[in-house]
Amino acid sequence: MSTLIPHVMLSLTAYQNLVKKSLLPNTNFIKNNLYCRTISSSLPVSLGNTHKMVDKSCEQTTRILFCGPYFPASHNYTREYLQNHLFIQVDDVPLDDVPNSIGNYDICVVKSMRLNSEIISHAKRMKLILQFGVGLEGVDIASATNHGIKVARIPSGTTGNATSCAEMAIYLMLGLLRKQSELQVSVSQKKLGEPAGDTLFGKTVFIMGFGNIGIHLAKRLRPFGVKILATKRSWPSENSGQLDASYNENGMSDDLVDEKGTHADILKFASHADIVVCCLLMNKETAGVVNKDFLSSMKKGALLVNISRGGLLDYDAVCHHLKSGHLGGLGIDVAWTEPFDPNDGVLQFPNVILTPHVAGVTEYSYRCMAKVVGDVALQLHSGTPLSGIEFVN
């Protein structure tokens, strides 16, 4: 009799009975990943408030843990991308359950979870900690390294994430310039022709942090007829052999930046700008960089946009400058605590626009990043070198 059977769900007892009757091979067949996922799907293991199908009988299953319920498209699209690879298991686990569950997984996608040394110490089989995006400030990289776990991010330039964030920055700029909140009031009060907004044309925009997002933002701002100032840690020299960020891959100047500077120039550039856009990575050097001194150096009535991390802005300083009227408007896709309190005093100002951390959350960017996660899982499962991600340890 053939040992091949239809792909159906069997209980463990039924499987054991078939083995006893010699209808199925024992040791060799149990190692087949496809079959292991089939029989294990009838063995739910509780993870928080939901039941996750954790394969206890097959050590060859590669498991991916997505931390928490936020940014649901990340795990949904990854699960969809891997749906035909039954030897890869994708679970999303409530944040409170991560410490007790992380030991069962090979890959951890942190999202907004903070992985400290205590949590990482439980990751006994973990091979990779990966961010669904760029920021890794919530991961104790030194602890992961000590436990032999690689840490990586998904580069924003090739997945559409930088493009999505750049477009959101422009959306927030235009919303502030056209007084989005007041527009809604006019609609509700049946007013026409007010408020009078302003144009992006003719403005000076300071891009603080000229990485992938900053470059994509500058490219999209150029057609608006603006002057662009930009700072980054260091700029390639003419003799370094590196292409300057303002040149495309063909070596042709795109004239992206009118004036370049380093971190030492941020107060000077802030004083010249009509709009400041924060595109910095969050780390110990940049935390709270937009403080009282920075905001005081800005032009009275200038606008501030942040699409990077909430911790770049000093909360008390921002509130003070909004209340005094010195800060002309605030557009933020990220906040000091997330989810943000809808009753927070910052939101009581009519010249504030808040979006729920969706700058990079687009169909295009999230499906691209889900593919990266899926491909990395397949590479890890097959034992081939991991590609498409940027390691930090």
Residue 323: count other Cβ atoms within 10 Å of its Cβ: 12
Same fold, 61-157+363-391 and 161-354: yes
Query: In this predicted structure, what is the pLDDT of residue 234?
Result: 85
Spatial separation of the C-alpha atoms in residues 34 and 264, rounded to whole Å: 57
| Domain spanning 161-354, CATH architecture | 3-Layer(aba) Sandwich (3.40)
Taking only the tens place, the pLDDT of each residue in 324-333 is: 999 999 999 9
Residue type, 253: S
CATH class of the domain whose range is 61-157+363-391: alpha beta
Amino acid at 198: D
The CA-CA-CA angle for residues 80, 73, 104, to 5°, reads: 70
Residues contacting residue 290 through CB under 8 Å, at least 6 positions apart: 276, 278, 304, 306, 312, 313, 314, 317, 318
State pLDDT tens for residues 355-391. Answer: 999 999 999 999 999 999 999 999 999 999 999 999 9
Q: Is the pTM of this model over 0.85?
A: no
Name the residue among 128, 134, 82 with its Cα closest to residue 102.
Answer: 128
pLDDT digits (tens, 9 = 90+) for 109-138: 999 889 999 999 999 999 999 998 878 888
Domain boundaries, the chain: 61-157+363-391, 161-354
- The b-or-e profile of 227-253 (16+ CB within 10 A means b, else e) is bbbbbbeebeeeeeeeebbbeeeeeee
